[in-house]
Amino acid sequence: MIKIVDDICKHPMHPFPARMAPAIVWENLKTDERKPLSVLDPMVGSGTSLVIAKALGHKAIGFDRDPLALLIAKVWCSDVEKEKVKLKAKTVIDRAKKRYRTLTVGKAYPRNADAETRAFIRYWFDKINRRQLAALSDAIKGIRNENTKTFLWCAFSRLIITKKVGASLAMDISHSRPHRVYDKAPIKPFDKFEEVVNKVLKSAPFEKGKQNLPKAQIQDGDARELPLIDNSIDMVITSPPYLNAIDYLRGHKLSLVWMGYSIKEIRHIRSTNIGTEVSCRCDSEKEQHTQALMEIGSIDKLTERTKRILLKYAYDMDAVMSEIKRVLAKNGRAVFVIGDSTIRGVFVKNSKLIKYLATEHGFSLQSDIRRILPEKHRYLPPPNYKKSGTELQHRMREEVILTFRN
């Protein structure tokens, strides 16, 4: 593996649940001789696919609807001016310390935060950290250069989205399962800010003026309605959300509220994302996708409500597949990395659903590879994991890589 790809594997930009293994992207792109390809990830998450694509000289294009995912992916793929960011980080911490002295607890909220967002902040952050985070976020908001600002937001978020030791009262935020365990947060943002800025800079693979690689294009967009023209993409590589497996925004909102998002706005994004527990209401959706649903697993054991949630997932993934078909050039490849999951104790074969939908849309299957997940990537085993049967335990340890040709 070339050094830059090796570095990317070792230093992820920011915690993100169920990240794609960089080696999968590298394996799929290294052999392509035509350069540069247009590589699309329509559900980009933290941007693993695109950062590798860019490192290999391809034009990387990505969409997501989670503002924190977009922020991380943009930072990871951008050409950084390291010295400029370090200098700005110093200015930010100085300004924040000054502001802190006069900032009362009653005012220690993001500007214009509504009552619900304020209550959320009071629940998850202690008084000192509320003041420090409000002062820091205010100082970051004042930065004019968008690139530098995004970098510093990413560092700011790393203070909060951690497994055990962070600036909030919660643990397990990085797995999107925050639960409040502390009376006082284990770290003070002012003590750690410059350290996290250095971590972010260490994880940044591209430097302005050094590598001269194509600029990545990452923006807010829905995979079910891509703002791209027909046949414009050479390769799609993506890992769709697993049904019911990870509620990304549940953890991400602890950072996003400081960046100016209200709980109401975040709730709206979450409820309209793919893979969340929103059930299908429309009967025409039902008819169209019942066959797709049959591929998923033993659905008879599920309640009517859960079946409708599955139906909505099938409906959404059908729309994603239709868009991928539209934007992919003739002979282009589409690679899906997908894990199966459990819903209400029933094993759900997401990978079979993807295979079914891709075939329905006229793709031909090129390969179907199962890969054992490394221990630390096995996010979110089912609650009764230890008690569950050996077959299920085995399945939770693998993911499926499906490659299709247009």
Ligand X SMILES: C[S@@+](CC[C@H](N)C(=O)[O-])C[C@H]1O[C@@H](n2cnc3c(N)ncnc32)[C@H](O)[C@@H]1O
With 0-12 / 13-18 / 19 or more C-beta atoms within 10 angstroms meaning exposed / middle / buried, residue 47 is buried
Q: Which amino acid is at 287?
A: E
Q: Which amino acid is at 25?
A: V
Q: Quick one: which of 5, 29, 37, 48 contacts ligand X (CB under 6 A)? A: 48
> Under the criterion CB under 6 A, does residue 218 sit at the interface with ligand X?
no
Q: Looking at 57-65, 124-132, 153-161, 198-206, which segment touches ligand X (CB under 6 A)?
A: 57-65
**Least distance in angstroms from the C-beta of 20 to ligand X:** 4
DSSP run (H or E) holding 388: none
**Least distance in angstroms from the C-beta of 137 to ligand X:** 22
Closer of 194 and 265 to ligand X (Cβ): 265
Q: Looking at 14-22, 92-100, 113-121, 258-266, which segment touches ligand X (CB under 6 A)?
A: 14-22
Residue 231 backbone zone (phi > 0: left; psi -120 to 50: alpha; other: beta): left
Closer of 257 and 335 to ligand X (Cβ): 335
At residue 364, φ and ψ (nearest 5 deg) are -110, 135
373-395: string of b/e by CB count within 10 Å (b at 16+)?
Answer: eeeeebbbebeeeeebeeebeeb
Whose tokens are 């290294």? That residue is 30
What is the C-alpha to C-alpha distance for residues 100 and 108, in angstroms, rounded to an integer? Answer: 9
Q: Give the footprint of ligand X on residues 60-79 (CB under 6 A).
A: 63-66, 69
DSSP run (H or E) holding 355: helix 350-360
Q: Quick one: which of 8, 16, 150, 213 contacts ligand X (CB under 6 A)? A: 16
The terminus-to-terminus CA distance of the chain in angstroms comes to 28
Dihedral over alpha carbons 77, 80, 86, 91 (to 10 degrees) = -90
Q: For residue 330, how many other CB atoms are within 10 A of its CB?
A: 7
**Least distance in angstroms from the C-beta of 54 to ligand X:** 14
Q: Looking at 42-50, 148-156, 257-265, 292-300, which segment touches ligand X (CB under 6 A)?
A: 42-50
Q: Looking at 136-144, 222-230, 326-334, 377-385, which segment touches ligand X (CB under 6 A)?
A: 222-230
> Under the criterion CB under 6 A, does residue 176 sit at the interface with ligand X?
no
Q: Quick one: which of 79, 126, 138, 222 contacts ligand X (CB under 6 A)? A: 222
Closer of 44 and 89 to ligand X (Cβ): 44
> Under the criterion CB under 6 A, does residue 323 sit at the interface with ligand X?
no
Q: Quick one: which of 58, 74, 158, 224 contacts ligand X (CB under 6 A)? A: 224
Q: Give the footprint of ligand X on residues 242-271 (CB under 6 A).
A: 248
What is the C-alpha to C-alpha distance for residues 62 and 41, in angstroms, rounded to an integer? Answer: 5
Helix-then-strand count for the chain, H and E: 15, 11
Closer of 108 and 338 to ligand X (Cβ): 338
Closer of 66 and 318 to ligand X (Cβ): 66
Closer of 129 and 273 to ligand X (Cβ): 273
Q: How many residues bind ligand X (CB under 6 A)?
A: 24
Q: Quick one: which of 166, 205, 241, 251 contacts ligand X (CB under 6 A)? A: 241
Q: How far is CA 242 from the centre of its chain?
A: 12
Closer of 41 and 126 to ligand X (Cβ): 41
Q: Which amino acid is at 13?
A: M
Applying CB under 6 A, the residues found at the interface with ligand X are 16, 18-20, 42-43, 45-46, 48-49, 63-66, 69, 222-224, 239, 241, 248, 273-275
